[in-house]
Amino acid sequence: MSTVPTPAAQTRGGGASAPLLEVDDLYVEFRTRAGVVNAVNGISYTLGPGETLAILGESGSGKSVSAQAIMGILDTPPAQITGGSIWFEGRNLLELSPEEQRKVRGPGISMIFQDALSALNPVYSVGYQIGEMFRAHRGMSKQDAKKRAVELMDRVRIPAAAQRVGDYPHQFSGGMRQRVMIAMAIALDPRILIADEPTTALDVTVQAQVMDLLTDLQEETGMGLVLITHDLGVVNEVADQVAVMYAGRIVERGTVDDVFGDPAHPYTEGLMTSVPQVEAKGGRLQPITGQPPNLANIPSGCPFHPRCPRRRIGAEAAPGRDCAVDRPPLRLVVPGREAACHYSEEVLGV
């Protein structure tokens, strides 16, 4: 595992074809009285302009923690970034001062949090909270910031925005609160938007409206979108690339069509088979057996092996590929597809 470099003038070349975001071998741990929780364990990915990357996985897989590390909003302590780098516009964000990181948040990278009611301040109007982005980053007056708040509320299709700009979060429905969160996130036209479970606790119709809105905004601005979710249906509709996380690691990565059509990792395969299928009337779901691992005590070898129906241990395993002993690296299995499984070729039938 690499360590975070000491502050230095590190930059990375840009250009029209350069990725907007490069996460390289990122490690995050939480140091608690009960021990060290290894929340993110060496993940890497890139995000290009106008691209949607979906990060999938069960609760506790490290999805949200990795996003908070990118945003620079981890609670430290107990959180600690212990390795890797995060490159945005030619700079390693982990080497920036807190003040420099604050300047990146908003105009550079912005985030929609999964619980809008908790994320919004109940004692300030939504117009005041949206306008705060312009007061803090653009030095606007309260009056000008309020005008921009109304414009943004219109932009995210909140009805009667001019009349509702002075309303408080509890006066909006769940779907409308999520639109307020989106308005705050896009206020400064960020280059990258991270959406952490943006449709959680919303009904299906409102989910579709929120995702349509994000897609429209992405087409309008060309921003890159990192979508963190466990909703496979949403991912199938909007994502270009998919990264599947388990126990703080990316265990499969590829295009949405490839990963959903023919999973290369048994965990991804389990996620797919545990989703209800319209055509399978009267059938039973096939849940993944067991429980997600304790990140303070991740199993040796492949972290998924205690739950994996394809595991090979001891005499059954090929040399150097014992699922209980040898940790599989994330590797290219077929063109355009990476998986962290010793036997992915067999899973794919190649």
Portions of the chain given CATH number 3.40.50.300: 21-239
Axis-axis angle for helices 126-138, 142-155 (nearest 10): 120
Q: What three-state secondary structure class fits 243?
A: strand
**What rounded mean pLDDT belongs to the chain?**
89
pLDDT digits (tens, 9 = 90+) for 55-85: 999 888 999 999 999 999 999 889 999 999 9
pLDDT digits (tens, 9 = 90+) for 173-208: 988 998 999 999 999 999 999 999 887 767 888 888
Q: In what order do the strands lie in the sheet with 192-196?
A: 109-112, 192-196, 224-228, 52-56, 241-246, 249-255, 337-339, 331-334
Write down the CATH superfamily of domain 21-239. Answer: P-loop containing nucleotide triphosphate hydrolases (3.40.50.300)
pLDDT digits (tens, 9 = 90+) for 268-296: 999 988 776 656 566 677 788 889 999 99
pTM (2 decimals)?
Answer: 0.88
- Predicted local distance difference test score (pLDDT) of residue 15: 52
- Predicted local distance difference test score (pLDDT) of residue 233: 84
CB proximity list for 281: less than 8 A, separation 6 or greater: none
- Mean of pLDDT values over 229-241: 89
Q: Pick the residue with more confidence: 277 or 211? A: 211
Axis-axis angle for helices 126-138, 174-186 (nearest 10): 10
- pLDDT band per the 50, 70, 90 thresholds, residue 231: confident
Alpha helices (H) along 139-203: 142-155, 161-164, 174-186
- pLDDT band per the 50, 70, 90 thresholds, residue 120: very high
Q: What three-state secondary structure class fits 149?
A: helix
- Predicted local distance difference test score (pLDDT) of residue 3: 40
Q: Pick the residue with more confidence: 115 or 52? A: 52
The DSSP secondary-structure symbol of 11 reads B
Instruction: Report the percentage of the chain scoring pLDDT > 90.
Output: 65
